[in-house]
Amino acid sequence: MIPDLSVGWVIFFVLVLSVVLDRLLLRPVMRVMSERDGAIRSARELAESSRARAQLAADELEAKTRSARAEIYRQMDETRRGALDRRAEIVANTRGEVERSMADATGRVHTQAAAARAQLERDADTLATIIVERVLGRKAS
């Protein structure tokens, strides 16, 4: 059985149509898809490199922040130690002044007490003489 000539023409037109579709539609579509795939890959690579740079910058910022905090804490500790040393010095000076004041006051009190005793003894002798003279009615010698 020999196929009809119209079958040959259909086969010819199908082949021509497939070549035309391949050249005019499928190849340009595949090229556009390939370009998009390349653009997507490029954008992903760019995003990954940007993420890596951002991570490095964040790590660097964290390191600098940690270093700055350590420096601030060190300075605060030095200031605190200096303040404690100054406080100890002030307490020692104040304690010395208080001890000197107490020693001076104690000395003055002892001096005043001795003077008061001496005055009391003189007053007692005078009063005793006066009492003896009144009781005896004459001057005692």
Alpha-carbon span 18 to 26, nearest angstrom = 10
* Cβ contact 133:139 at 8 Å: yes
pLDDT digits (tens, 9 = 90+) for 11-56: 899 999 999 999 999 999 999 999 999 999 999 999 999 999 999 9
Alpha-carbon span 84 to 11, nearest angstrom = 104
| Secondary-structure breakdown of the chain: helix, strand, coil percentages, each rounded to the nearest 5 | 95, 0, 5
Predicted structure pTM score: 0.48
Alpha-carbon span 119 to 113, nearest angstrom = 10
Please give the single-letter amino acid code of residue 124: A
